[in-house]
Amino acid sequence: MQGVGNVATLLVSVLALWFTALLYLHEVRTRREEKADADAAHARLVFGRVVEIRAPTQMLTSMQCEVVNHGEMPIFQVTIEVTTSSGATVRDAQESDGLIGTQVRELIADQPIPVAAATTIRDLSLTVAFTDAAGLRWRRTGRDTPVRVLSGSSSGPDCRPWLALTAVTLGVLGIALTLISLFN
């Protein structure tokens, strides 16, 4: 009878360990999502748009762009690039720092870019890359969700989920070894 009780205790212990591991993994994922959302809060307040294009004889030569920071903190290392519907890109060689509010910038194409006669500002896609006050690098195209740009020196994959599963597995192994020693 005592052996049946030990086996039942083992099963309940294993279930409790697995439940604890799953709860831990859920908590880690939730915290990570909350942190990512908090990190992106300022980046969602920054956007850019093309205000005016100059394309005489269907050759895009320059455009006027606007970068807006609705956040209270400045943004740094602001660069912009405009992509046409054909995939041609015009980059601003100038980088600006400490932007609060609105900045209008003039982009001049290195070489005129052929565009359709009916090209409007809606046919152009403006991407703003910037560093927020917390030092995080972001990239945002139009009003799309900002994307965090990670540097090349990442610390590697996150090992915490594997550590949690390893701890549970070692716990189960310990319980199993204890039961084996009880029955021998």
If asked whether residues 112 and 66 sit together in one domain, one would say yes
The tens digit of pLDDT for each residue in 95-126 reads 888 889 999 999 888 888 888 887 888 888 99
Do 92 and 166 fall into the same domain?
no
112 and 166 in a single domain? The answer is no
- Answer whether residue 25 is part of any domain: yes
Find the CATH number of the domain harbouring 98: 2.60.40
- Does residue 34 surpass a pLDDT of 80? yes
Q: Is the dihedral of CA 71, 44, 133, 103 positive or negative?
A: negative
pLDDT computed for residue 146 by the predictor:
92
Q: How much is the pLDDT for 39?
A: 86
Judged on CB neighbours under 10 Å (0-12, 13-18, 19+), 1 is exposed
Asked if residue 11 is part of any domain, the answer here is yes
In whole angstroms, give the CA distance from residue 42 to residue 142: 15
pLDDT grade for 22, boundaries at 50, 70 and 90: confident
Q: What is the pTM of this model?
A: 0.68
Rounded Cα distance between 81 and 88, Å, is 10
Query: Same structural domain for residues 93 and 120?
Result: yes
pLDDT reported for residue 1? 56
Residue 90 has pLDDT above 80, yes or no: yes
Mean pLDDT of 25-41: 88
CB 75 within 8 A of CB 130: yes
Q: Which domain range does residue 73 map to?
A: 45-145
More confident residue, 1 or 108: 108
The dihedral over CA atoms of 56, 58, 59, 64, expressed in degrees to the nearest 10, equals: 60
Would residue 81 count as lying in a domain?
yes
Q: Which of 5-14, 108-117, 153-162 has the highest mean pLDDT?
A: 108-117
In a domain, 87, yes or no: yes
- Output the pLDDT for position 113: 87
Residue 154 lies inside a defined structural domain of this protein: no
164 and 73 in a common domain:
no
Residue 153 lies in a domain: no
The highest-confidence range among 7-11, 64-68, 111-115, by mean pLDDT, is: 64-68
- Please report, in angstroms and rounded to a whole number, the separation of the first and last CA atoms in the chain: 15
- The answer to whether position 96 is within a domain reads yes
Looking at the structure, do residues 104 and 138 belong to the same domain, yes or no?
A: yes
Query: What share of the chain has pLDDT > 70, as a percent?
Result: 86
In a domain, 152, yes or no: no
For residue 155, the model assigns a pLDDT of: 55
Per-residue pLDDT averaged across 13-37, rounded? 85
Tell me which of 183 and 119 has the higher pLDDT: 119
